[in-house]
Amino acid sequence: MKRGFLNSSKAKVRPLGPELVSAPILAVEKPAISSLEEPFQSMKFPIGKVEKLDLPESSSSLKFVERDPRSGSMPGAMTYTTFPFGAADNEPVTECFFFSGSKEVLMNKGPGFPKPLVHPATPAFTMKAVPGKGMGLFSTRALKMGELILSERPLLITARGVPTGLIPGYTREMFLQHSLAELEKCVAIAVNRMRPENKAAFMALANCHTEDGSGPVVGIIRTNGLGIEGLRPGATDETRRYSAIPKDISRLNHSCSPNTTPRFDLDSFGYQLRAVRSITAGEELTFQYVDVGCSAAERNEALKPYAFVCACPACTDAPASDARRAAIKAYNPSVLLWAIDRKLSDDSLINECLEQLARLTTEGLEHHGAYFDATKAIMEAYICLGDTQNASKWTAKVHKQVWAHRYEKEISEFRLSELLDPANTAAYEKHPFWRMRVDPNPTTAMYQTLAALAGPNNIKTLPGGQTFMMFPGPPL
Ligand SMILES: C[S@@+](CC[C@H](N)C(=O)[O-])C[C@H]1O[C@@H](n2cnc3c(N)ncnc32)[C@H](O)[C@@H]1O
């Protein structure tokens, strides 16, 4: 037993029952099957419909053993567990079906984990039917960019596949069907472990896979699941990502110009849904099911598994929208290159980024990483120019984008909170880009900046993902 949570008062509220651990046989010998083109270990199901086949009775390779919930994962076995461990009856819980190792990620977080969910001060959404889309969520009041709409623990977090032994004579299609059936058996157990109200909410979710080989539970997962990473340290294959099924966020319909974005907050073990631009009262809330930075044709191809054709304005006026999205994709601001290239005007980068932001706003893509990049580049350009008034204004815009992937890292690494005050020159002087554009010797300034960023080992990965390796350069 690792940490204090099992000794806490919370842990004593409910008696700890046995927990199930499934032990699929992993070390099964693989007979050669010529029609199985992809390595079966990937357990990746095609994203579209799976042909429904009547399979001969096959013996399942799954073995179930009961284990004490206070124990960690059984090596090589998959674990059913309910999180938070020993939760009180009124605390939101998530049923988990994990590969080994994930339970330990949660056990090792220590006391105080998970933090309570933070909710908006007043309710911000309601659910109602949307013609042609089933149910959907709508705002009940005006919302500002970055505002929290709802927080929730997922009903379920599950592996997307279970290791299944190959069955001699099976074709690829039969094997897929068999794998889906094995997964259905496994996840149905997790669903049956849910509290009655959670199980009812889960089973009431949309399922666009009723006609194919997915079982009822797998169909719901494939319709509503959100990819979630970070619970399997070290895994690089398909098993690194689980599917999470939240109750309310699952009711959001797709838009190629979404006005919200969900983000999983590990500290509270919950999803937070935020507005990515201003939203008026009564507007439908939407998010992107697939990457919407590409063309309408590519988006609708990727959306096929969800069994609808998107009729949002970007899809109905595809040529103009496609051109803008291609321009957005093609532009990647480089503050460093602009800062040292004195042939460029002082405002060229800022103007380019303003154009990029205009394209993103026209397309309704404020949730996109490119929006964060362009906002941050303008903030950094003003820091390069030594203009704290404008830099602080743009820092505030970066600060609003709490949903952004790199938000926390950027805020802490470059101490952006201190830059909200234009008079805090001490903080500005510590920023690696401070006055780089107005320095009399920009090349030296750039090397100094890179050296500072590179640190003692001369290698540094910037928040944007670029890696710098310092070679001996001009004397510093
Ligand atoms: C995750 S559910 C969304 C909530 C769902 N509308 C409900 O009733 O619970 C996904 C399903 O909603 C429908 N849907 C989502 N976005 C849509 C859209 N933009 N147009 C039409 N149908 C949509 C499709 O049937 C899709 O398979």
pLDDT in tens, 72-111: 877 878 889 999 999 999 999 999 999 888 999 999 998 9
In a mutational test of the pocket of ligand 1, which residue from 253, 284, 299 has the highest number of ligand atoms less than 8 Å from its CB?
Answer: 253
**203 and 219 share one domain:** yes
Compute the distance from residue 198 Cα to the ligand 1 centre, in Å.
20
Q: Which residues contact 380 (CB under 8 A, 6 or more apart)?
A: 335, 433
Residue 377 in this model has a pLDDT that exceeds 80 = yes
**28 and 88 share one domain:** yes
In a mutational test of the pocket of ligand 1, which residue from 254, 256, 260, 286 has the highest number of ligand atoms less than 8 Å from its CB?
Answer: 254
**366 and 430 share one domain:** yes
Highest mean pLDDT among 57-61, 153-157, 430-434, 451-455: 153-157
Compute the distance from residue 379 Cα to the ligand 1 centre, in Å.
38
> What pLDDT is attached to residue 460?
60
Terminus-to-terminus CA distance in the chain, angstroms? 52
3 state DSSP class of 429: helix
136 CB near ligand 1 (under 6 Å): yes
Q: Interior CA angle at 433 toward 428 and 439, to 5°? A: 100
- DSSP summary character for residue 14: S
**69 and 135 share one domain:** no
Instruction: List, for residues 108-151, the tens digit of each pLDDT value.
Output: 998 999 999 999 999 999 999 999 999 999 999 999 999 999 99
Q: Give the CATH number for residue 267.
A: 2.170.270.10
- Alpha carbon distances (Å) from 419 to 422, 432, 452: 7, 13, 19
- Domain for residue 295, yes or no? no
**Count of domains in the chain?**
3
- Domain for residue 314, yes or no? no
Compute the distance from residue 386 Cα to the ligand 1 centre, in Å.
48
- Domain for residue 237, yes or no? yes
* Per-chain mean pLDDT for the chain: 84
Beta pairing class for 156-158 and 242-245? antiparallel
Question: What mean pLDDT comes out for the span 56-76?
Answer: 75
133 CB near ligand 1 (under 6 Å): yes
Residue 451 in this model has a pLDDT that exceeds 80 = no
Beta pairing class for 94-98 and 156-158? parallel
**146 and 37 share one domain:** no
Instruction: List, for residues 312-334, the tens digit of each pLDDT value.
Output: 999 999 999 999 999 999 999 99
Structural domain ending residue among the three candidates 236, 269, 289: 289
**275 and 192 share one domain:** no
**100 and 31 share one domain:** yes
Band the pLDDT of 168: cuts 50, 70, 90: confident
**200 and 136 share one domain:** no
The sign of the dihedral angle between the CA atoms of 73, 74, 79, 80 is: negative
Among 1-10, 49-58, 368-377, 440-449, the minimum mean pLDDT is found in: 1-10
3 state DSSP class of 326: helix
Share of the chain above pLDDT 70, in %: 80
- Domain for residue 164, yes or no? yes
Residue 249 in this model has a pLDDT that exceeds 70 = yes
Among 4-8, 51-55, 244-248, the minimum mean pLDDT is found in: 4-8
- Domain for residue 374, yes or no? yes
Band the pLDDT of 23: cuts 50, 70, 90: very low
**276 and 352 share one domain:** no
Contact status, residue 186 vs residue 48, Cβ threshold 8 Å? no
- Domain for residue 319, yes or no? no
Structural domain ending residue among the three candidates 211, 226, 244: 244
Q: Which domain holds residue 60?
A: 4-115+154-244
Structural domain ending residue among the three candidates 289, 316, 346: 289
**137 and 206 share one domain:** no
**339 and 460 share one domain:** yes
> What pLDDT is attached to residue 40?
38
- Domain for residue 475, yes or no? no
Checking 121-130 for CB contacts under 8 A at 24+ apart, the result is: 124/148, 124/149, 124/150, 125/149, 125/150, 125/248, 125/285, 127/248, 127/251, 130/253, 130/284
> What pLDDT is attached to residue 59?
57
In a mutational test of the pocket of ligand 1, which residue from 137, 308, 310 has the highest number of ligand atoms less than 8 Å from its CB?
Answer: 308
**175 and 262 share one domain:** no
- Domain for residue 451, yes or no? yes
Contact status, residue 159 vs residue 172, Cβ threshold 8 Å? no
Highest mean pLDDT among 126-130, 173-177, 231-235, 470-474: 126-130
> What pLDDT is attached to residue 457?
62
- Looking from the CA of residue 250, the nearest atom of ligand 1 is 1
Band the pLDDT of 211: cuts 50, 70, 90: confident
Contact status, residue 255 vs residue 219, Cβ threshold 8 Å? no
Band the pLDDT of 300: cuts 50, 70, 90: very high
- The secondary structure element, H or E, covering residue 9 is helix 9-13
- Is the reported ipTM for this assembly greater than 0.90? yes
